[in-house]
Amino acid sequence: MTQWYYADASGQRQGPFSAAELEGHVRHARLDANTLVWREGLQDWQPLGSLASELDLPLDTLASPAPDTALPGADLPYAPPAADLASFQPVASGHLVHAGLWKRFAASFIDSIVTTIISYALMIPLMLIGVGVMGAGGSDNPFATGAGIASMLAIYPILFLAPCIYFGWMQSSSLQASLGKLAVGIKVARIDGQRMSFWRGFLRSLAYLVFTMVTCGLGVLISGLMVALTERKQALHDMLCDTLVVDKWAFTAFPERQRDELGVVTIVILVLAGLAIVGSIAIYAVMGAMLMKDLS
């Protein structure tokens, strides 16, 4: 059976599909005449409209290809050899925009809010269960006390597992990005542009958390300096896990859509993060002054 592939809006190759499945995509308006498709035997990608008769697609369901549609060439998704039909091959040529410190900081600000919400959503029920079990069993019941303490101790692994699972899942998905990275238009990829696995993403996040913990928080500053100063803007956990943080259009058929500038969304997030930091400092300063006043 002939296997077909098509290039989606972001320039990534999708497939394989049978001719019937491709027809289904057309009928559901997911593909049009200008969509680039490829099968074994074609030298290059071709507009779907030019292959309508071969696929037995009703011409009235396809818009006519635009006369200025670009011909397939070096800037289009790689047409794989037959031995590599089932695996995605990123476009590795062209200019590569690495995500800088400020974009990564803005993404981290959003992701810290997300992971905090997830962590507390898991921890609060465990705390309530622990307190409830100890209260129901009484102080003289060692089993109730032990079960309650165990429930409350389970909170600590959540602080590590919740963000690691979140980042591992999101960044190994087809999006290749957490919610924060999606917001600022960046993604995580292997050095060769491939999508990383869940466990690589999990260990990448764990390495960052452990590094931050053993350095008493200095790991955040060290990682930031490494991103700012290294050639490929890699933090230590990037180097350990063989990953890059790049523009969302990197390693696609449209590298010209990459942007070096921060963008409006990133600037807005940075302003909000700055206000949050200043507000936190002000609150701690007021609380410290009140405490000193009470002690004096």
* Cβ neighbours of residue 268 closer than 8 Å, sequence gap 6 or more: none
pLDDT value of residue 159: 87
Tell me, yes or no, whether 282 lies in a domain: no
Based on the fold, state whether residues 140 and 8 are members of the same structural domain.
no
Which of 76, 78, 4 has its CA nearest to residue 41?
4
Based on the fold, state whether residues 63 and 171 are members of the same structural domain.
no
Question: What domain count does the chain have?
Answer: 2
Structure tokens, 262: 């921060």
Based on the fold, state whether residues 71 and 162 are members of the same structural domain.
no
pLDDT value of residue 77: 47
Instruction: Tell me the pairing of strands 4-7 and 13-17.
Output: antiparallel
Q: Does residue 251 have a pLDDT over 90? A: no
Based on the fold, state whether residues 124 and 225 are members of the same structural domain.
yes
Q: Are 178 and 167 in contact (CB under 8 A)?
A: yes
Global pTM value: 0.67
Based on the fold, state whether residues 77 and 106 are members of the same structural domain.
no
Which residues, listed in sequence order, are joined to residue 101 by a DSSP beta bridge? none
Based on the fold, state whether residues 119 and 61 are members of the same structural domain.
no
- Segment among 88-102, 202-216, 279-293 with least mean pLDDT: 88-102
Tell me, yes or no, whether 42 lies in a domain: yes
For the segment 115-170, what is each residue's pLDDT rounded down to a tens digit? 999 999 988 887 787 777 766 666 666 766 676 677 777 788 888 899 999 999 99
Contacts 24+ apart (CB under 8 A), 259-262: 259/97, 259/185, 260/97, 262/102, 262/103
Domain that holds residue 12: 4-84
Tell me, yes or no, whether 295 lies in a domain: no
Q: Are 76 and 64 in contact (CB under 8 A)?
A: no
Mean predicted confidence (pLDDT) in 64-81: 43
pLDDT value of residue 268: 96
Domain-terminating residue out of 84, 119, 152: 84
Based on the fold, state whether residues 108 and 10 are members of the same structural domain.
no
130 by Cβ neighbours in 10 Å (0-12 / 13-18 / 19+) ranks as: buried
Based on the fold, state whether residues 159 and 231 are members of the same structural domain.
yes
Based on the fold, state whether residues 162 and 205 are members of the same structural domain.
yes
Q: In the structure, what pLDDT confidence band is assigned to residue 243 with cuts at 50, 70 and 90? A: very high
Based on the fold, state whether residues 111 and 44 are members of the same structural domain.
no
Mean predicted confidence (pLDDT) in 246-252: 89
Mean predicted confidence (pLDDT) in 220-239: 92
Which of 36, 116, 42 has its CA nearest to residue 77?
36
Based on the fold, state whether residues 114 and 219 are members of the same structural domain.
yes
Cis peptide before 16 (omega within 30 of 0): yes
